[in-house]
Amino acid sequence: MMIEIFKNIEIEVRYINKTTVIVENLIIDNKVIANSWLEIINFLELFQSYIKNHLSFNITYPFDKLVFKLHKSKRDEILLSMNFEGNIYAFSKLNASKIVHKINRILARCDLLYQ
């Protein structure tokens, strides 16, 4: 089953029972970018670092096929940009918080014994 996290970002899960799930894949633009619980946690940590101002402007943050970087918008808002195969997505802190919240809710229901 696919659960939409944000525009073009989905998580594929498999239900064991009504309350427990197994995370299969993290998908962007119908392409798998993370296929394990641990890789999804690493993806999530980048967003959490951005929200808490732990990322630097001078550094690019690679993650498998993705490259993350901070930049300023025309309105001087600091955004996290994600480059995925030439497509660039920009996330505000509000959108990043929503992504973190949704993924955390799904991961909280994971059964790590099955991962």
pLDDT tens digits, 80-104: 999 988 899 999 999 999 999 999 9
Q: What's the pLDDT tens digit per position in 13-51?
A: 988 887 778 888 999 989 999 988 889 999 999 999 999
- 114 occurs within a structural domain: no
- 35 occurs within a structural domain: yes
Find the angle CA(5)-CA(3)-CA(24) to the nearest 5 degrees: 105
Q: Count of domains in the chain?
A: 1
- 78 occurs within a structural domain: yes
Q: 14 is in which domain, residue-wise?
A: 2-108
- 115 occurs within a structural domain: no
What local confidence, expressed as pLDDT, does residue 113 receive?
A: 59
- 34 occurs within a structural domain: yes
- 113 occurs within a structural domain: no
**pTM exceeding 0.75:** yes
- 57 occurs within a structural domain: yes
What local confidence, expressed as pLDDT, does residue 78 receive?
A: 93
